[in-house]
Structure 1
Amino acid sequence: MTMAKRPTIHDLRTMRGKHQYAMLRVETLEEAEAAERAGVEMLSVPPSMILDPNFRDAAPTAFCFPGDNFFNIGGPEKMLEWALNMYKHGADAVYCSGSLAAVRLLSEHAIPVCGHVGLIPSKATWTGGFKAVGKTLESAQLVWNQCKALEEAGAFAVEIEVVPASVTDAIAEHSDLFLISMGAGSGGHAQYLFTDDILGQNTGHVPRHAKIYANFAAEYARLQELRIKAMRDYVTDVHEGLYPAPQYCVGSDPEVVAAFRSWLADQDAPAS
């Protein structure tokens, strides 16, 4: 049987427009392993997961992007130091939401870089908050100009987030970038969602583009009620003297106990 292999940048570029890749944001090794076993080809992960030696055992064939907000990392030189460490520990590419100078510097050091356009949560103030970008001619032009600037700086891919599908289609026709669509339509070459959303474990706002496939929140609530009941029953047993019952205690030979008690009594006796 032929073992699946991890995609390369060359593979992604070759399959651009021929195959839709599935991509998820995972936060735990359990989620990473589930994604691997489910056939998810691309993962976004916290940087700490890349540094975990167990990560590649959990997801050996996933093309993996670690990412963090630029303000948590710093300027171009610090971004390069961070990216080199990620690449050293097995990242296939890195997200860079920092400056074009940072993207250019990483690219010059042969680090595969993915930029971010459209709705960028850490920069949403510039585009009017948490809403779609690209619905007007001016904002569609902004998304295009961001894509071209990132491509010219050396990025091989961009995440295009909450942009009208028709705008994404047009950009895909005029750019060689690998487009990772988060709520930006099938014109992207990979579809990207958060595991929290697809598993239904996000109890806050669920984005319009997120499709829910399970209801982990309800299961967590059920488990919490079971947790509370078990703890309450334990408290009752302790207060009523029902725990610990004999079967939960270590027994001893009665003769040993008697001898021990006799010895203790001797210890209490006043010295002559």
Structure 2
Amino acid sequence: MSRTRPTVADLRAMKGKRQLTMLRVMTLEEAEAAERAGVDIVSIPPDLLLDPRYRDAAPSLFSMPGDNFYEIGTADDFVRWAFRMYKAGADAVYCSASFATIKRMADEAIPVIGHVGLIPSRRTWTGGWKAVGKTAEGALEILSAVRQLEEAGAFGAEIEVVPVEVAAAISQRTSLFLISMGAGIGCDAQYLFAEDVLGQNRGHMPRHSKVYRNFAAEYDRLQAERVAAFSEFVEDCNSRAYPEERHIVHMDPAELAKFMDAIDG
């Protein structure tokens, strides 16, 4: 059954009514799987959105490209980048740059999702890879950041690794559409990375992640099969078991005789 792709207005209207789902997907195959599974929102690399096959694979996914702010540049660079993404079919863009940069895009009516709590690109300011907002002072700083995003014109924000009580209290007091990554169900959407859901991540698994499949083991099995197949090919070539008669083409004997006369004459 086909779905209609939600708009920013739709997401705002759903705030506080039900939990939406969001994944970070990296490939067309993952995007198509998210589409077929009924996922609501995806975060994607900009290059994936620019693939002309993307919207055929994911026609109803609310799609949000994003990149680290230092990969894009100044506020003007962000505006140019965002217009390019919008033209390619983006429904919103992610931005962890300054409030001024977000305002610059919002002033051009570009839907922007900001970021509060643990912001990976700025984790040195909050103590590294750990929860943010565990003290009253810290929680108030997150609320202040949410208020500044509101004033800048963002329509939503990812809120990452924040105590569930803090995230829920802020969600009830903001118009922003809050996307929870490890911040509990008091927000408006739940966000995970596809690589964690699929068990592809071989490194550190965040506390909030949940593994639903073991693709890493399957990749190991497939790699072992690759090595075995390549080894058999080498062995066949060394023993002249390959190529077999069915793999080659013969010349008509009469034409072969003419050819041999020509080169030997």
TM-score surpassing 0.5?
Answer: yes
Separation in 2 of the partners of 1:230 and 1:258? 39
**Given residue 233 of structure 1, which amino acid in structure 2 is its aligned partner?**
E
SS in 2 for 1:174: coil
Query: Does structure 2 conserve the Cα–Cα contact (< 8 Å) formed by 1:180 and 1:191?
Result: yes
CA-CA distance at 1:195 after TM superposition: 0.4
1:56 aligned partner: 55
SS in 1 for 2:172: helix
SS in 2 for 1:110: coil
User: How far does the alpha carbon of each residue in 1:181-201 deviate from its partner, in whole angstroms, 9 at most, with x for none?
Assistant: 011100110100000000001
2:32 aligned partner: 33
For 1:227-246, what aligned pairs fall within 5 Å after superposition?
227-246=226-245
For 1:175-186, what aligned pairs fall within 5 Å after superposition?
175-186=174-185
For 1:1-272, what aligned pairs fall within 5 Å after superposition?
3-266=2-265
CA-CA distance at 1:145 after TM superposition: 0.9
- Unaligned stretches of 5+ residues in structure 2: none
Provide the identity percentage: 57
CA-CA distance at 1:136 after TM superposition: 1.2
Which protein is bigger by CA-based radius of gyration?
A: 1
CA-CA distance at 1:84 after TM superposition: 1.1
CA-CA distance at 1:93 after TM superposition: 0.5
Separation in 1 of the partners of 2:75 and 2:135? 32
Output the aligned Cα RMSD.
1.0
CA-CA distance at 1:156 after TM superposition: 0.6
- Unaligned stretches of 5+ residues in structure 1: 267-272
CA-CA distance at 1:89 after TM superposition: 1.2
Separation in 2 of the partners of 1:91 and 1:207? 28
Separation in 2 of the partners of 1:257 and 1:27? 54
Q: TM-score, normalised by structure 2?
A: 0.98
Q: How many correspondences in the alignment?
A: 265
Query: Does structure 2 conserve the Cα–Cα contact (< 8 Å) formed by 1:119 and 1:163?
Result: yes
Separation in 1 of the partners of 2:101 and 2:190? 26
User: How far does the alpha carbon of each residue in 1:57-113 deviate from its partner, in whole angstroms, 9 at most, with x for none?
Assistant: 110001011000000111211111111111111111111111111111111100011
Separation in 2 of the partners of 1:123 and 1:39? 32
**Given residue 162 of structure 1, which amino acid in structure 2 is its aligned partner?**
V
Query: Does structure 2 conserve the Cα–Cα contact (< 8 Å) formed by 1:75 and 1:98?
Result: no
SS in 1 for 2:133: coil
